[in-house]
Structure 1
Amino acid sequence: MIDTPYVPHLFGEAVQEKLKSRFGWLTAGVASSIPWPQDDVWVLYDNHEYVLRGTNGGEDKRPPCISTPCAQGEVDAATTRVYLFASVLGWFKGGHVDVTGYVSGSRPVLYGSRDTFTTTLDGGKYFNCNYMPIINDDRIRKALAFLREGRRLRYVHEPYSFLSFFKVVESQFSSKERIAWIHDNLDQLDGDARKRVAELRAQGLDVGKHLYDSGRCAVAHASLDGVIVDPDIPADRRRIADDLDVMAGLASRYLKVEAGVPDDIELYKSRDRTLPWHVLLPARTLEALQAGGTLRYMSALGQLQENRVSVRLWPHDAPECMRKMRLAAEGYSPGVVMFLVVNDRETVFLRFAMDFANGRVHTMLEDGGVTDQFGEVIEEDIEHYTRYFHSVVGNALVELCIDGLDPVSCEILIPVNIIPQAPEKMVALALEQFRKGKGGSAANSEQQQHAE
């Protein structure tokens, strides 16, 4: 099982502080097909720091690059780390990130060439590569490296792209095992790759042998009488281009199915969001919930009951009124525990449903709010709850944080019969109403009225 741990991200001034905090950096220019951040992003991946240097966007766009700490005499080690990081990042985000060159020095200078072939797209405000898989198996590392080359070369040099994709499979098996694996997996391909397999079979060809003889060997060798890919013959180029879909499909299938390296989409479907809190539950309780059972006693929740949780909008820190809130179970259904989260002044309350059976956590947005039961509501309560409410309606990512554990991420809310409003606009309106004396309890109904 490949580990997919939480990957901390930093943005804005925090990134600049990281870049200034030490001497000794290596910066690698990259060619990329994935959406690249416009602003610098710091991530901690596999206990190493990487800074994706932003492109700035617009007409003044600069080439993408990656900076990482590099002590004197460790350039090769740092470069190898960047290559692996680039391989995983490209695979995870469904494209490629390939190193084009690098420079090292005391400061993290920018590096890149505008002439480097790249299809870089400017990404959103908050670039997210959380839960990228950690690669400890050297064979899988090599497969990812060959895939990185194949994807980058696909629209630059199709024959060499084919060869790189073939190496993904060739590097993992003996000759006989490779032949058997390709034969067993051709029927598992889809899309254009599946169509091409059908076309080759209709010609009476053994597809696996064809890929090896007319593809791999024809690209790698230029024997006197053997089959080659002649750079000047359009038919040869078309043949390789048509077969490229099949080889790319096989390479991706090996990594995803055989090696078990998830990409962002697969991980989104399969990752158990409740996992960080499993250690707080008694083993019997966790087993019962995952099997769809219903609890009868709150004491069955062990350390999870009456714990403290901070609620934040990723990637920001939790505001004071949502920091170390009291966590208490208040309801159960098959496989699910409903939690009430309240701050110490009992002015802000939120609710969440933890679906242990399906590994999902849901914000129960309609059941939260601000209450002035004890006359202690302050402007910050109104401000931060309003921002929370309208940000969640606008698809913001909510994280629940217990000290010492990785954050638990909630499902993105898909609003129904609600017209999302700009959070900061609604914050200003809510504060205006609060200052006019409508109070904290009215604030929640006012906010929801504006959202509908």
Structure 2
Amino acid sequence: MRTPYIPHTFGEAVDRKLRGRVGWLTAGVASSIPWPSLDVCVKYAGDEYFLRGSERSGKPSPPGITIACDPGTGGADAAIAKIYRFTSVLSWFEGGYVDVSGYIHGSHPILYGNPRTVYSSIGIAGIKAFNCNHMPIVDDDHVRKALAFWREGNRLNDVHDSYAFLSFYKVIESQFRDGRERGRWIAANLDKLSDRAANRVVELRAAGIDVSSHLFDSGRCAVAHASLEGEIIDPDIPADRKRLSADLVIMEELARIYIRDELGVPTARTLHRTRDRLAPWDPLLPTETLEALRAGHHPPPDVSALEGRIVSVGLWPDGPIPGLEHMTMHIDAVDRGVVKAVLINERRTILLVFFLDYNNGRIHTNLEDGGLVRGENDADENDVRAYATFFYKVIGNGIAELTCDAIEPIDCEVVIPVNMMMTMSPDEAIADTVERFKSERAKKSE
């Protein structure tokens, strides 16, 4: 499943985008995921989605999602359908729900807000903290339906147990033509459950109940149907409510397992553990070299194809750091799948070191060996600012990105400082470093 780089835009650039055209649709949402405090534009699967922040001019604002709405490309129905699909994937990826409560469309991006149905149960700290980068692109219609039912089930989980159960059941039911195959899948996966779901399975089995049949007859059918003779979930019977609530944890966990294992849709957490950060740079090396690096072969393969490459160094989500946009890569060493790359700027005054760990699909920043260097040119104020920006932002848990040619950026692992206490914010430290440089240079010129 494709998990491409997803550009995020913050700040005034978002306002310019919203003012740059006419024809918009805004959906108000109820959200249980951390919601951005200020507007952010996310470019996903070819469309720009504007997540409207929970604050505006220092006051609470209704969360929502705005998208371009053009009568020539399907109008409001096409626009809201895109938002439904986007929120389904976002809900699964972020481990909660983002549910559309209503929408409005017109020439301007008007906010939609009803405080009873449009809200965010969790805020978010930081102006640029929202991040759904590498969220999967869902092209398969069967996967889309499963995620839609998952989003619906999560939204109903705190509202109505019966319909939440039915939605989670439909995650699985929607993927099978044959009910017997569905039943066999459920039976085969019951032993994968854990915690409360596993305990409930043990209770039912101890009572001599076939769990798979029970979930269908006393759960799915009892919720979906009502007849004089058939089994139903009676809203007035406490025992019925308790039974369904107890079974709900089984159905939710089975739905999660199906989406995760059978459909292979990653969450942000699983993707963080499994994504090969270096994969976008695969075209830069021959296939046999990549295979040798990933296997950690020794002696090391020839990686000369990386030598002399021009690389831009930046920070997510702001892009290239001024002064580090055009750095030349030199290979210093290769050992057991790890490539030590040294990047030098055009003036040869800044040196940055990175370890490309092909064996584990990671790239690490080596702050200890990098810095300002003396040579043909002395570092000037711009060089000092550029390096200080890189150093202090990375020390402050910023995500460094390397971009080569027109390939999507590769992101470095976050640096966790050891035995180091920051007494200033990264921005303050950058400004202080530049001022000290200017002061020292002024003293030398006296």
Query: What TM-score comes out, normalization by structure 2 length?
Result: 0.94
Q: Is the contact made by 1:354 and 1:361 (CA closer than 8 Å) also made in structure 2? A: yes
What are the ranges of 5 or more consecutive residues in structure 1 without an aligned counterpart?
440-452
Where do 1:51-130 residues align within 5 Å?
A: 51-56=50-55, 60-72=59-71, 73-116=74-117, 118-124=119-125, 125-126=127-128, 127-130=130-133
Shift of 1:250: 0.5
Shift of 1:43: 1.0
Measured against aligned partners, the alpha-carbon deviations of 1:55-112 in whole angstroms (never above 9, x if no partner) come to 1179832221101111114211111111000000011000011111111111111112
Find the partner of 1:189 among 163, 188, 193: 193
Q: Is the contact made by 1:26 and 1:75 (CA closer than 8 Å) also made in structure 2? A: yes
Between the aligned partners of 1:365 and 1:293, the Cα distance in structure 2 is: 27
The one-letter amino acid paired with 1:417 is: N
- Residue 121 of structure 1 aligns to a residue whose secondary structure is coil
- Residue 100 of structure 1 aligns to a residue whose secondary structure is strand
The aligned length equals: 436
Between the aligned partners of 1:171 and 1:397, the Cα distance in structure 2 is: 39
Relative distance call for 1:59 and 1:42 in structure 2 (3 A) is: closer
Measured against aligned partners, the alpha-carbon deviations of 1:226-246 in whole angstroms (never above 9, x if no partner) come to 221111122211111111110
Relative distance call for 1:130 and 1:248 in structure 2 (3 A) is: same
Partner of residue 350, structure 1: 352
Measured against aligned partners, the alpha-carbon deviations of 1:347-378 in whole angstroms (never above 9, x if no partner) come to 11100000011100000111111123334311
Superposition CA RMSD, Å: 1.7
Q: Is the contact made by 1:349 and 1:369 (CA closer than 8 Å) also made in structure 2? A: yes
The one-letter amino acid paired with 1:106 is: S
Between the aligned partners of 1:53 and 1:308, the Cα distance in structure 2 is: 37
- Identify which range, 266-275 or 324-333, moves more after superposition: 324-333
The one-letter amino acid paired with 1:104 is: H
Between the aligned partners of 1:101 and 1:115, the Cα distance in structure 2 is: 12
Between the aligned partners of 1:90 and 1:373, the Cα distance in structure 2 is: 52
The one-letter amino acid paired with 2:313 is: V
Partner of residue 39, structure 1: 38
Answering whether residue 238 of structure 2 is matched by residue 239 of structure 1, we say no
Shift of 1:26: 1.2
Between the aligned partners of 2:343 and 2:322, the Cα distance in structure 1 is: 14
Measured against aligned partners, the alpha-carbon deviations of 1:21-56 in whole angstroms (never above 9, x if no partner) come to 211111111111100001111111111111101111
Relative distance call for 1:294 and 1:13 in structure 2 (3 A) is: farther
Q: Is the contact made by 1:35 and 1:122 (CA closer than 8 Å) also made in structure 2? A: yes
What are the ranges of 5 or more consecutive residues in structure 2 without an aligned counterpart?
none
Shift of 1:167: 0.4
Q: Is the contact made by 1:280 and 1:302 (CA closer than 8 Å) also made in structure 2? A: no
- Identify which range, 364-373 or 347-356, moves more after superposition: 364-373
Partner of residue 448, structure 1: none
Partner of residue 141, structure 1: 144
Shift of 1:118: 4.6
Between the aligned partners of 2:118 and 2:322, the Cα distance in structure 1 is: 47
Shift of 1:117: 6.4
Relative distance call for 1:217 and 1:286 in structure 2 (3 A) is: same
Where do 1:204-353 residues align within 5 Å?
A: 204-294=208-298, 300-353=302-355
Between the aligned partners of 1:225 and 1:113, the Cα distance in structure 2 is: 42
Partner of residue 413, structure 2: 411
- Identify which range, 427-436 or 122-131, moves more after superposition: 427-436
Measured against aligned partners, the alpha-carbon deviations of 1:319-350 in whole angstroms (never above 9, x if no partner) come to 33211111111111101101001101111110
Identity %: 49
Partner of residue 29, structure 1: 28
Query: What TM-score comes out, normalization by structure 1 length?
Result: 0.93
- Residue 378 of structure 2 aligns to a residue whose secondary structure is coil
